[in-house]
Chains A and B, each alone.
Chain A
Amino acid sequence: MRAILSFLVQRVSLSLVTLFLLSVMVFIAGQVLPGNVGRAILGPLADMRAVELLNTQLGLDRPILVQYWDWISNFVQGDMGTSYIFRAPVAPFVFEALGHTLKLAAVALVLVVPLGIAAGVVAALNVNRPLDRIISLGGLSATVLPEFVTGIVLILVFGVWLQWLPISAAWPPGAGLTTQIYYLILPALPLFLVLFGYIARMARSGMIEALDSDYVRTAVLKGLPWRTVIWRHALRNALLPTITVIASQTTYLVGGVVVVETLFRYQGIGSLIFTAARGKDFPILEAGILTIGIVLSIATLLADLLYSVLNPRIRLGGGR
């Protein structure tokens, strides 16, 4: 237990450093790189005095360090600033959008984790037979394709030609959870395809390694049924590296989600960021990106924790 605790403290402090650096980068990109923010908002034809007035109103004429401190200390307390476009506090927009995004990501994960692991295990049990080739090659091709490309094809096939699923994720107002999930299946599929290959590949190689190990041979030789060998001995060990991969893929998952949201007109954090970017609404843009960074750090931490709980070498303080 103490081993896990010290491991956790170490990981949390590392992610705090990462988040601090990310916040500096986001701040520089949002407040320093654009040069004159007032000019960027008002356009090249605006009067010089109007630009200066706007800059003063936004507090952009103060020293950079003061601006950074102001921004980050308010952010930590939950005040994400005021949107340039909506003239309203940013936080409610970000939280509502984040909720939508997590819903979509959850649907994708719930579909992909069991199916990806199952496919990897099936491939491992049929190494180098046609079924393995199909799963491995199919998984690899699906993984490398951009989500909006597979998304377009999926919309055409399932939305336009077969008309099985709605082509937009915007469900009718007041829809229940099942209806919402029904609207989210098609948007979740491109994300499913990207992750499926990674998870299946890791589960496959983990399983092949486990099947090749001495403990599996011992289990077979002492006469355990094959089913028990697979479920109780091989699979458990094969899943450890897979969990790490699922965690490391959350960044890609979120990167995919923001694009898929645009394609399916879904009001998540990706749509929010892109809308803010087009309107040069830097407070929303910065808050949205930093929020994504925080969510991803938490996801990575949870995965590390899960991994350390499942892995006796870390749990018992051995190993490193």
Chain B
Amino acid sequence: MSVEPADISLPGDEEKRRGGLAQTLALLGRSGSFVIGFGIVAFWVVCALFGRHFVPYDPLADDIINSLKPPSAEHWFGTDQIGRDVFSRVIVGSRDILMVAPLATLLATVAGTALGLVTGYFRGIVDEVISRIFEAFMAVPVVIIALLVVVALGPSTTTVICVIGLSFSPLIARTVRSAVIAERELDYVSAAKLRRENTLYILFVEILPNVVPSILVEASVRLGYAIFVVATLSFVGFGIQPPSPDWGLSISSNYGMIGGGYWWTVLFDALAIATLVIGVNLVADGVQGALDA
């Protein structure tokens, strides 16, 4: 004989929650930084998805006779050292980084949330051990940890996604952990314990929904930093691999000629990275503002 746990939610609860979502979206729409950031990010996402179909040249096709031509009517951003059209490359170059960085962030968020829930809820020895391992991970810059793993396993997109995802997970775990520590003392958790819900249920059904705002803010900040790290890794040769028209990769193969005045081979890629990173950070800023309100 089992007694169904009583439904203790009030009739208005569900509507209130939905109202909260609509309110948050309205706040986002009114936040200037979110709208501008969202516009920039949306532009690059469109380029990543469909750029291939509307660029004037094949981003990988060389044309040695027309190499290193400055910007002109035929080649808006000029051509690089083997005559590839820089404009087409910059547009299509958004694709790999916009696949790798969000996937790495997703992995970091999932792993970090799980770890943060466990360490924040149980505390004690589990928390202590995991925190020490996290600290070792964060003792050297992410770029260097990533470099070490990429060298050991060989460069591939999957390796880059995994290593960035895993090195960011402690940071997300730390945020989730402190949110969980605040939540676990609240009455609804005690109530769930008294109802003898199992621990997984308490963690994922009771506590998780209440820490989602902190997770969202942290994840959006991490996305900006993931783009930072992917671009940097590609620049030093251990991220996205040739023949991709990736921005960091293009800069790394062209900056050697910078003293010769071939500014167009690197400037537009640099500006592309700058706009994307700033766009994502503006979005993160807007999300943070709307959820804090």
Give the interface segment out of B8-16, B61-69, B108-116, B265-273.
B265-273
CB-CB under 8 A from A17, the residues of chain B are: 132
> A262 with B142: in contact, given A22-B136, A152-B251 (CB under 8 Å)?
no
> A285 with B136: in contact, given A146-B232, A149-B274, A152-B255 (CB under 8 Å)?
no
Contact B149 A33 (CB under 8 A): yes
Contact B278 A144 (CB under 8 A): yes
CB-CB under 8 A from A149, the residues of chain B are: 231, 251, 270, 273-274, 277
Is A128 an interface residue, CB under 8 A from the partner? no
**Chain B minimum-CB-distance residue to A269:** B144
Is A126 an interface residue, CB under 8 A from the partner? no
> A33 with B231: in contact, given A152-B266, A160-B261, A277-B147 (CB under 8 Å)?
no
Contact B151 A285 (CB under 8 A): yes
CB-CB under 8 A from A277, the residues of chain B are: 147-148, 151, 238
Contact A153 B267 (CB under 8 A): yes
Contact with B along A152-178 (1 / 0, CB 8 A): 110110011000000100000000000
Chain A contacts with B in 133-161, Cβ cutoff 8 A: 140-141, 144-150, 152-153, 155-156, 159-160
Q: Pick from B148, B232, B258 the residue with the most CB of A within 10 Å.
A: B148
Is B135 an interface residue, CB under 8 A from the partner? yes
Give the interface segment out of A105-113, A114-122, A181-189, A253-261.
A253-261
CB distance from A85 to the nearest CB of B (A): 14
Q: How many residues of A contact B (CB 8 A)?
A: 49
**Chain B minimum-CB-distance residue to A277:** B151
Contact surface of B with A, Cβ cutoff 8 Å: 132-133, 135-145, 147-149, 151-153, 224-225, 228, 231-232, 235-238, 248, 251, 255, 258-259, 261, 263, 266-267, 270, 273-274, 277-278, 281, 285
Contact with B along A16-34 (1 / 0, CB 8 A): 0111111001100110011
9 inter-chain pairs at a CB distance below 8 angstroms, sorted by A residue, are A18-B136, A33-B153, A146-B232, A148-B251, A156-B263, A156-B266, A258-B143, A277-B148, A292-B140
> A255 with B259: in contact, given A33-B149, A146-B277, A262-B236 (CB under 8 Å)?
no
Q: Pick from A150, A153, A280 the residue with the most CB of B within 10 Å.
A: A153
Contact B236 A274 (CB under 8 A): yes
CB-CB under 8 A from B273, the residues of chain A are: 145-146, 149
Q: Pick from B142, B149, B236, B266 the residue with the most CB of A within 10 Å.
A: B236
**Cα–Cα, bound, A307→B143 (Å):** 28
CB distance from A102 to the nearest CB of B (A): 15
Contact B143 A297 (CB under 8 A): no
CB distance from A261 to the nearest CB of B (A): 10
Q: Pick from B144, B266, B274 the residue with the most CB of A within 10 Å.
A: B144
**Chain A minimum-CB-distance residue to B221:** A144
CB distance from A260 to the nearest CB of B (A): 10
Q: Pick from A152, A167, A262, A285 the residue with the most CB of B within 10 Å.
A: A152
Is A314 an interface residue, CB under 8 A from the partner? no
Is A97 an interface residue, CB under 8 A from the partner? no
| A contact patch SS | helix
**Chain A minimum-CB-distance residue to B33:** A137
**Cα–Cα, bound, A31→B139 (Å):** 20
Contact surface of A with B, Cβ cutoff 8 Å: 14, 17-22, 25-26, 29-30, 33-34, 140-141, 144-150, 152-153, 155-156, 159-160, 167, 251-252, 254-256, 258-259, 262-263, 273-274, 277-278, 280, 285, 289, 292-293, 296-297
Contact A289 B251 (CB under 8 A): no
**Chain A minimum-CB-distance residue to B135:** A18
**Cα–Cα, bound, A140→B221 (Å):** 12
**Chain A minimum-CB-distance residue to B151:** A277
Q: Pick from A17, A29, A256 the residue with the most CB of B within 10 Å.
A: A29
> A254 with B141: in contact, given A145-B274, A289-B148 (CB under 8 Å)?
yes
CB distance from A229 to the nearest CB of B (A): 31
CB distance from A176 to the nearest CB of B (A): 24
**Chain B minimum-CB-distance residue to A137:** B33
Which listed residue, A33, A252, A293, A297, touches B152 by the CB 8 Å rule? A33
**Cα–Cα, bound, A255→B251 (Å):** 19
**Cα–Cα, bound, A20→B139 (Å):** 11
CB-CB under 8 A from B149, the residues of chain A are: 29, 33
